[in-house]
Amino acid sequence: MSFLTTLRNIFRKGGAKIGMVKSLVRITDDDRVAIDQNEYDRIQMAKSYYRDDLPNIWFRNSYGERRQRPMSTLNVTKLASKRLASIIFNEQCEVSLENPELDKFIKQVIEDNHFNLQFEQHLETGVALGGLAARPYVDDQNNIRIAWANADQFYPLHTNTDNISECVFASRSTRIENKQTAYYTLLEFHQWNGPAKYTITNELYRSTQRQVVGEQVPLETMYPNMQEFVQFNGIIKKPLFAYFKTPGANNRDLDSPLGMGIVDNSRHVIDAINHTHDAFVHEIKMGKRRIAVPAEMLRPGSAFGNTDTDDPHPRMFDSDMDVYEQFYGTEDMKITDLTSDIRAQQYKESIDYFLREFEEQTGFSAGTFSFDGQGVKTATEVVSENSTTYQTRSSYLTQVELFLNQLVTAILEVASTPEFFSDGQSRCKFNADDDLKLAVHFDDGVFIDKDKQRSDELALVSAGVMPKREYLIRNFGLSEQEADQWLSEVQDEQPQFAPSSFEDSSGPDGDDDVGAD
């Protein structure tokens, strides 16, 4: 860092103390942020559980001394989040639009960003922390990319519990300055200044303390090519971001638009699982076989205490053996087995009990993590028994579909705005006032026997009670436009008067004897 930059930072620190320069301890201290800090304290707690970054276990040893050890945990937060994310969304999901040009464009953007793979991974953290956000942007090569933000990087502005139309994204970076770590926080504000004035404001803050946002510094300090303020007049009609919220009400703050994660209402049972598992692992460690022997038997250079002999007692045990432990006692002390029984069954039943409570609180079917003795169920059995997991997934799919609708709209808004591209050329034509007509086909292979579904619905088509177009849409994830195109191509490929596989085998005049004299 140059001397001029150092001097400038010194003056800005002095200005912050007297109120001349904007300074923030936390992002929620900004007047524009309409969320209580307790919400983000809750998210940070959930993040520590998801990362399995939990405090050590304190205990007293046999001498009464206070000691600590790392907790041996079962990271059920990570396990449950990953399980939910995998059954909610996977790479087989298909997104389609009715407009063929926009549909082709969106599918190309999705493919270029590896969206299906990325979204499943980010959805896992969203389930754990209660939400996630994404926004499209244009890179240096004029390609549309998708930036992701975890729940602790997304702050709503002046909003209600049903809709988030303004927000700020926070991203942090570090660098070493004068042998000291400097923390830089970039805040990107998305706001509406009137019905059709969409503004993006970038602010940069610097601090030498990890938990403090710091004083505002010039944006060019870290981002020389970034604009501080951009306003779109009448061009942007929808927010340029999307927010995914986990289903269900926020019972911690009824006025908050943020969702609740896996930990928020399951913390106590997760703690019970972790402490029980830690006690079990510690008991296994302490319950290893131990045999007490007189200290003289293991004392090197002696023969049962006779130090006058010229022939010292040789070692009788392998040097790697840790079963025998020497004890001091009376002369008649005997070899004693000190091994204690391990209460494996009791611990297993206790952990299973808490896991069943965890399944109930997080919306999973009984036996998802615990062992219920009924074995693995087929997909048909899961649905027919009105599986709790299936119902939970259905609730999440509603929120995922809303998120995808918002994200696709934001992508099309960016793509149709020439100001975002260095060549001044938009990539598509899009009117946000028109109905987007987005269709999302989720892969239900986890719960549905797809081969049986296709066979059953094909029989319905043959019986004339299901349209062929509907069959293609339901089983191949096609849009209505694509299904019509398929049917048109199939019709063109059929020889004249030759019956298709879906149609009646009679001739054009209704007779079966086609071509007969």
- pLDDT tens for residues 77-135? 999 999 999 889 887 788 889 899 999 999 999 999 999 889 999 999 999 999 999 99
- Residue 508 pLDDT grade (very low, low, confident, very high; cuts 50, 70, 90): very low
Lowest mean pLDDT: which of 34-43, 164-173, 472-481, 503-512? Answer: 503-512
CA separation for the pair 286, 479 (Å, rounded): 62
pLDDT at residue 313 in the model? 56
18-27, 362-371, 416-425, 429-438 — which one is most confidently predicted on average?
A: 416-425
- Residue 464 pLDDT grade (very low, low, confident, very high; cuts 50, 70, 90): confident
Residues 6 or more apart whose CB falls under 8 angstroms from that of 149 comprise 132, 133, 134, 135, 169, 170, 171
Domain ranges of the chain: 267-376
**Is residue 345 helix, strand or coil?**
helix
The label of the residue with tokens 């299936």 reads 390
Question: Is pLDDT above 60 for 71?
Answer: yes
pLDDT at residue 16 in the model? 44
Question: Is pLDDT above 50 for 450?
Answer: yes
58-72, 148-162, 186-200, 361-375 — which one is most confidently predicted on average?
A: 186-200
Q: Crossing angle of helices 100-112/115-129, nearest 10°? A: 70
Cα three-residue angle 165-171-175, rounded to 5 degrees: 165
**Is residue 471 helix, strand or coil?**
helix
Instruction: Evaluate the CA torsion angle 310, 313, 318, 321 in order and state its sign.
Output: negative
Instruction: Evaluate the CA torsion angle 85, 88, 94, 97 in order and state its sign.
Output: negative
Q: Strand pairing partners for 5?
A: none
13-17, 229-233, 362-366, 484-488 — which one is most confidently predicted on average?
A: 229-233
Average per-residue pLDDT in the chain?
83
Question: Is pLDDT above 80 for 402?
Answer: yes
- pLDDT tens-digit series, residues 349-366: 999 999 999 999 999 888
pLDDT at residue 449 in the model? 53
pLDDT at residue 51 in the model? 96
Residues 6 or more apart whose CB falls under 8 angstroms from that of 341 comprise 287
Residue 30 contacts residue 188 (beta carbons within 8 Å):
no
Exposed, middle or buried, 44 (CB in 10 Å: 0-12/13-18/19+)?
Answer: exposed
Residues 6 or more apart whose CB falls under 8 angstroms from that of 125 comprise 50, 81, 132, 150, 151
pLDDT at residue 319 in the model? 66
- pLDDT tens-digit series, residues 217-234: 999 999 998 999 999 988
Question: Is pLDDT above 70 for 264?
Answer: yes
Q: What percent of the chain has pLDDT over 70?
A: 79
- pLDDT tens-digit series, residues 382-399: 555 557 888 899 899 999
- Residue 321 pLDDT grade (very low, low, confident, very high; cuts 50, 70, 90): low
**Nearest C-alpha neighbor of 258 from the set 171, 363, 150:** 150
* Section 270-274 average pLDDT: 96
Written as six digits, the tokens of 266 are 């399951």
Lowest mean pLDDT: which of 205-219, 231-245, 281-295, 481-495? Answer: 281-295
Over the range 352-376, which residues count as b (16 or more CB within 10 Å of their CB) and which as e?
Answer: eebbbbbbebbbbbebbbbeeeeee
